[in-house]
Amino acid sequence: MPAILADATEAVLYAWFKAAGDSVTAGEPIAEIETEKANVEMEAEGDGILARLIAQPGDTVAVGAPIAVIAAVGDAEKDIDAILATALSQPAGTSKQHDDAASVPAADTPRVFSSPLARRLAREHGLDVAALNGSGPDGRLIRKDVEEAIAAQLAATAAAPVPAALTTPLSGAPAFARGFVQPVGETVPLTRMRQAIARRLTESKTRVPHFYLTADVRMDDLLALRKQVNATAQRKITVNDLVVKAIGLALCDEPDANVTFNGNSMIRYNHADVSVAIATDGGLITPVVRSVDTASITEISSTIADYAARAQAGKIRPGELSGGTFTVSNLGMFGTKEFTAILNPPQAGILAIGSAELRPVVVNRELGVATLMTCTLSADHRVVDGAVAARLMAAFKQRMENPLSILI
């Protein structure tokens, strides 16, 4: 099991793309791994035959534990067995094996085989794993079994009659309250990714001292230049591409803002690796565009477009989700005028981008109209002071309002 995230100790084997006995080549996707941030593809590390599948879909496996064997053509089964015996004897054995042993109740209680994820889901929804039927190998209880039990439980709850007390007109109540009926909703279990988002953002908002700066950026020159570039460019450049490039350059203009919190120290970076927030059906993910300050606008645009397409298909690779120094979150395309974003620790900054719209402005004491875009910086006050954040926003605004400095 690869170390998908820097601080991860385990991950879930979501699905195999190959069956035992299939040929594989180095770099070919062979499995889908479920992490706290996204479902990502795991690639084969070498050429050979997928000789043995150790982990099954739904299993939670410790990082570094074996999940499969890729053998060379002609390798003997006894050699594979010997290698596996050694690997499985190490402390980083699969969670499946260790947790099965831990799930053995008292001596007079039947043993229940279940994946850690299945047990966790069952516990969160008050289900007894001993009362559920497993569809996995040898009757093992897997996530799908628990999710089906949860769905059945929700269906039964939704079908239950509404208590009479909730449908009886309230004596002496105002007219609008008489005949009040308690609304009936659907309980939707949180995915592993959604649980992680909830936990990480709660920790960030409650433990990190956020402060916010807002600036209105004049967009007329940038939009005119973008139109001119796109008239002849093979790849159409988006406003978001230009925003990412501009903040990357601004971070190098103000290097004291290009930092991450590291306990009793902070790390200052020489390049701007910008995480770009992308919404998927499962939740928000933030793949990283590397060295934005030195990359061309075409390279940035191509990378972001590729991330957006693969994110929807669940094909973001593990290394693409880690190592960002700053984040850009753009909701302008949805018509949002302005918003504040929550920091993504250990990063010390995230820029929230609103929509570009025509607004009245005063220039040289005369009223006019210009295209303005409201941008809000959230900063971590532990490592970024107000003056540093203000200089970063000024550098970003200067770049955006003088767009040739972004392209040249």
Digits of tens for pLDDT over the chain (408 positions)? Answer: 887 665 667 788 888 999 988 999 988 889 988 776 667 888 888 888 998 899 998 888 888 889 999 888 777 676 777 777 776 665 544 444 334 333 333 344 455 666 666 776 777 677 887 888 887 766 777 777 887 888 777 666 555 555 554 445 555 555 555 555 667 788 888 877 788 788 888 989 999 999 999 999 999 999 999 999 999 988 899 999 999 999 999 999 999 999 999 989 999 999 999 999 999 887 889 999 999 999 999 999 999 999 999 988 888 887 898 889 999 999 999 999 999 999 998 999 999 999 999 999 998 999 999 999 999 999 999 999 999 999 999 999 999 999 999 988
The dihedral built from the CA positions of residue 97, 101, 102 and 108, taken in this order, carries a sign that is positive
Of the candidates 169, 187, 186, 165, the residue with the CA atom closest to the CA atom of residue 177: 169
Structural tokens at position 125: 């929804």
Domains of the chain, first to last = 10-98 (2.40.50.100), 110-159 (4.10.320.10), 209-407 (3.30.559.10)
Of the candidates 374, 371, 298, the residue with the CA atom closest to the CA atom of residue 331: 374
Of the candidates 14, 65, 57, 64, the residue with the CA atom closest to the CA atom of residue 35: 14
Is residue 381 part of the annotated active site? The answer reads: yes
> For residue 340, how far is the Cα from the chain centroid?
18
**pTM (global) more than 0.75:** no
> For residue 57, how far is the Cα from the chain centroid?
21
Q: Which of 98, 125, 271, 381 is catalytic?
A: 381
Q: Please, which residues have CB within 8 angstroms of residue 101's CB and are 6 or more apart in sequence?
A: none
DSSP secondary structure of 124-142: HTT--GGGS---SGGG-B-
Asked if 357 contacts 372 with a C-beta cutoff of 8 angstroms, the reply is yes
